[in-house]
């Protein structure tokens, strides 16, 4: 875990998704000026709690020399979807297919659990992640304009909920 904690999971906000959010795709985006960096931090204890959980698991991706540079924390959600509770790849290793490897592992886990699909949530200002989820085959299932208000009063971030239903992806896995 200590090696994962040393990773840079921050990302640069240069665009924000703009509603209405009325279809399965992201839709319109607007430029953000000035761009800014966002970092959720890394909680070793929280992420570590997914290891060998009864209804959860943790997937870690490594470089060719065995250095961990990304992870996906996945759990069995209350609505019987697998939840990707957290997924992150070190900034210096993005674009190399590691996020896809993590998502493939999450899909395989959900299928082994007999679940109907995967759900995850991201923010309207994480356009790069949204584009990745779309390219993977996720559909935008809903949004919540008030999801983050208690944590960040006055925020304009909108929670976006993405779904990947296994039955709509025949033969993919």
Reported as a single tens digit per residue, the pLDDT across 16-68 is 999 999 899 999 999 999 999 999 889 999 999 999 788 999 999 999 899 99
Reported as a single tens digit per residue, the pLDDT across 138-173 is 999 999 999 999 888 988 899 999 999 998 665 555
CA–CA gap between residue 120 and residue 107 (Å, rounded): 12
User: What are 27's two structure tokens?
Assistant: 């839709």
Which helix (H) or strand (E) segment holds residue 161: the answer is strand 159-165
CA–CA gap between residue 120 and residue 48 (Å, rounded): 19
Q: Are strands 82-89 and 117-123 parallel, antiparallel or unpaired?
A: parallel
pTM of the model: 0.92
């Amino acid at each position: 875990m200590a090696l994962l904690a040393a990773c840079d999971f921050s990302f640069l906000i240069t665009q924000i998704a703009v509603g209405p959010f009325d279809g399965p795709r992201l839709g319109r985006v607007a430029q953000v000026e000035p761009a800014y960096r966002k970092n959720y931090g890394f909680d070793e204890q929280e992420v570590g709690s997914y290891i060998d959980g009864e209804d959860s698991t943790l997937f870690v991706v490594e470089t060719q020399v065995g250095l961990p540079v990304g992870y996906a924390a996945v759990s069995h959600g209350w609505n019987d979807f697998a939840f990707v509770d957290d997924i992150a790849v070190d900034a210096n290793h993005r674009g190399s297919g590691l996020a896809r490897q993590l998502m493939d592992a999450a899909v395989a886990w959900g299928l082994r659990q007999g679940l109907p699909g995967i759900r995850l949530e991201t923010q309207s200002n994480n356009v790069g992640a949204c584009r990745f989820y779309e390219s993977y085959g996720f559909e935008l299932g809903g949004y919540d304009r008030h999801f983050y208000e208690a944590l960040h009063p006055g925020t304009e971030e909108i929670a976006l909920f993405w779904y990947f239903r296994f039955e709509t992806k025949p033969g993919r896995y």
